A and B are shown apart, each in its own frame.
Chain A
């Protein structure tokens, strides 16, 4: 009679009653206990991980170079001695410890010439050179995406360009092992549907998002952020389809709040909106690759941007919560303090706004308002949303004056109530503008809630940043905040 356990990808047969030892020749302790194994006699079955000829002098040595038994028994260390009773494991001991072996075997006087104790070695199931193969054997069955072959003579990078998976930069090959490791970044099941991705309205599973996160160059710990960003972007409020299809050049951008930003090493400081930080660069890119590859949203097809901007490769940064005089953006948008969250918003390329002279909040707010006025066009009110990234040296001016984020927003709204005489068609010699008589009083530049204020940037430089958006409100795109689920 034999017991049966589910192995990594097969059933394995084990003795119903008796002793089992798992060993490898490469381990000095295993070689040390070779005579002890011989001493244990016919009630012993030995599984050998590396050399089927080892150990010598044993009646029942079985080849476990495929590691099925080792994986089924979850062997962490060799040698491991186990006792099976009535088909189930009744006990085990790792390494060589005479007393433990004698108790488990029910035999006295084992290995009299051996030392009392020798630690074992690592089991081959943890051998780095086998890690990928074992991972795919163990859990490859949980993946349901189509498997494609890149032939021997194909260059893998070129092959992926040819298949249209890239935004123009090289992508990382989404091998099953890489995708499985990516999926370790979340507790969510691979087949869970994250969102319905425009423009083709395709259901994106956690697995599909993970594949694109691999392409983008993400580490597994970024995956929860990518998943939350995909969820947020694929809402009716954010309207990723409209943002993609418009001839205006904006694309989705992501602000990350909460402890995960620091845990995964995101940049909220100097050059936060720039290059050089893997998390910032690849999380934004992963969202765009999901829209491209899963949703089918490609430039020249549904993406009709007249010029676009380089941040459409990916645009993601963290808020500098530690340095900020204000509550985190996510908290002001309804997320509990201490909870990680993403906020997606429509974004053009960022543009600096230099004011190195203002030391009063009133003066500085006027500078910022002057910069914000040019979003879409200086003469167009209620056209597009915008995001203002306040840098630390500007933030300090507001902090010292006790201005909250809401106070700044409200002062900016007052400063951005545009005089109809200045924005009528023809005013200032510019034909663009509101039709004459369309406004009888001051017109707000931004719709209520259409200006988002974020705090980020390096400690030196009185340079805040304006990020123009797109049509705001229910007929366009509204910023969307989502908690990050691990």
Chain B
């Protein structure tokens, strides 16, 4: 006999999330640099900002309050509204 069981999960289909297409160039792109507040993330991002400036690409800087917690929703929305590309300093 068929056994009926109740779904213990959030019941979202395991939808494969497709990444956005990679940009061909940064010309005209709004670029964000995100520091998740891990040690020395700022060193990495400072250097990236320098290199991008040399290429004429201005950046906006963002930082999570702590790496130990998810990004505050407001910050996520802010970045989504202000950037086309985000480079994240992920690890220490």
Contact = CB atoms under 8 A, between A and B. Distances in A.
Contact of B2 (A149, A198, A294): A149
A16 interface: no
Given A471-B68, A475-B66, A476-B68, A147 B2 contact: no
A152 B8 contact: no
B70 interface: yes
A175 B4 CA distance: 6
Interface string B1-26: 11111111111100000000000000
Nearest to A147: B4
A143 interface: yes
A150 interface: yes
Contact of B70 (A156, A174, A199): A199
Contacts of B4: 147-150, 175-176
Interface of B: 1-12, 65-66, 68-70
Contacts of A239: 68-69
Nearest to A470: B68
Interface in A457-486: 471, 475-476
| B1, B4, B66, B70: residue with the most chain A Cβ atoms closer than 10 Å | B4
A211 interface: yes
| B4, B7, B11, B68: residue with the most chain A Cβ atoms closer than 10 Å | B68
Interface in A186-223: 198-200, 202, 207-208, 211-212, 215
A7 B7 CA distance: 28
Given A151-B2, A152-B2, A211 B7 contact: yes
B2 A145 contact: no
Contact of A174 (B1, B8, B12): B8
Contacts of B10: 200, 202, 293-296
User: 4 shortest A-B CB distances, which residue pairs?
Assistant: A146-B7, A202-B10, A150-B3, A242-B68
